[in-house]
Amino acid sequence: MIAFPLTIEALGTARANESIEIRPLVSQRIVAIRFEEGEHVEAGRVLVELQSAEARADVASAKATLAESTSQLRRAQKLYETKAVSTSELDQRLTRRDADKAALDAAEARLADTQVSAPFAGVLGLRNVSLGSYVTPENVITTLDDTDPIKLDFAVPETVLARLEPGLSIAAKSAAWPGVKFAGRVESIDTRVDPVSRTLTIRALLPNAEERLRPGMFLTVTLLRDDVRALVVPETAIVPERSRSFVFVVGSDDTVERREVNTGRRKPGLVEVTGGLSAGEFVVVEGTQKAIPGRAVRVVERAPLPQPLTVAVP
């Protein structure tokens, strides 16, 4: 077993940490626009004000109605103490007061809907409306993106799933910024594997205080895990046969055994063996074309990697 760092290269797409289209909740005319394109705004900042005269009048009317029903309830409560009103009449007054309070809450909510605010801190996009425009919930006023940190989604083969975990380091590059590496970490791993491509999506987070990366950008990603150890053999030891792979193992009695193995990752000169071979066994690297199962060989040199095992086949 030797150190065999896991390196995965993939293509990814940048996504905003949070992203929405700003739309009004009610249909009304715009009376004030309180933002600039590309501006950074805090959560709760009012961006657009809609015509609210009717909504304000509804609130005032609801307040007056609630005040009247509250006053009537108080009088009924005093009369109830002297048995001048019945329990049912008192209950009616109480129900009426509660209904008027609910009506006031609804009117205030409609008034609040005439102000369009930012639900979270971020950067505003292009403005799509003008002062005086009549807008509906179908109209996009602008966009809002939180891009620090920015998300990076990329797909990796299912074969590396066991070696993936949140916190792994990644490096990303963009054609828009030649020579610049964006460092980040794996945030989460999708719970599903795509049954067609046999890949799963990894999501990483990259710091983006300078706003160099923007949602929708295309990036090349390198994921590296240094602490991976694997059983490897020299590439020349692998004998391919159709879709299968074999090696010639030299036993303690210096006889050759032909054994099928499962292979994994490859690097120049080395192949990972995931099954069929145990650590410490010796394989034939040179002379595999002459090796015959069960035949004795003369071992010229028996050494672990990186030195190859050289045998002489009689």
Give the integer Cα–Cα distance in Å for 38 and 116.
17
Q: Residue 311 has what pLDDT?
A: 40
Better pLDDT: 3 or 211:
211
- Residue 197 reports pLDDT greater than 50: yes
- Residue 112 reports pLDDT greater than 60: yes
Q: Residue 270 has what pLDDT?
A: 80
Over residues 193-207, mean pLDDT:
93
Give the integer Cα–Cα distance in Å for 120 and 43.
4
- Look at the block and give the residue holding tokens 């600039």: 36
Q: Residue 5 has what pLDDT?
A: 61
Quick one: three-class SS letters along 232-243?
EEEHHHCEEECC
The residue count of the chain comes to 314
CATH number of this structure's domain 231-312: 2.40.420.20
- Residue 32 reports pLDDT greater than 80: yes
Residue 25's pLDDT band (cuts 50, 70, 90) = very high
Q: Which residues pair with 220 in a beta bridge?
A: 11, 173
Q: Residue 264 has what pLDDT?
A: 76
Contacts of 290 (CB under 8 A, 6+ apart): 313
Please tell me whether residue 261 adopts helix, strand or coil conformation: strand
Residue type, 145: D
Please tell me whether residue 268 adopts helix, strand or coil conformation: coil
List the alpha helices (DSSP H) in 48-157. 53-81, 87-112
CATH number of this structure's domain 21-135: 1.10.287.470
CATH topology of domain 2-17+145-225: Elongation Factor Tu (Ef-tu); domain 3 (2.40.30)
Half-sphere exposure for 129 (CA within 13 Å, toward CB)? 28
Domain residue ranges in the chain: 2-17+145-225, 21-135, 231-312
**What confidence tens digit (pLDDT) does each residue in 119-158 have?**
999 999 999 999 999 999 999 999 999 999 999 999 998 8
- Look at the block and give the residue holding tokens 């990603």: 221
**What confidence tens digit (pLDDT) does each residue in 212-269 have?**
999 999 999 988 766 667 787 888 888 888 888 888 888 777 788 888 888 877 777 8
CB 282 within 8 A of CB 249: yes
Q: Residue 314 has what pLDDT?
A: 40
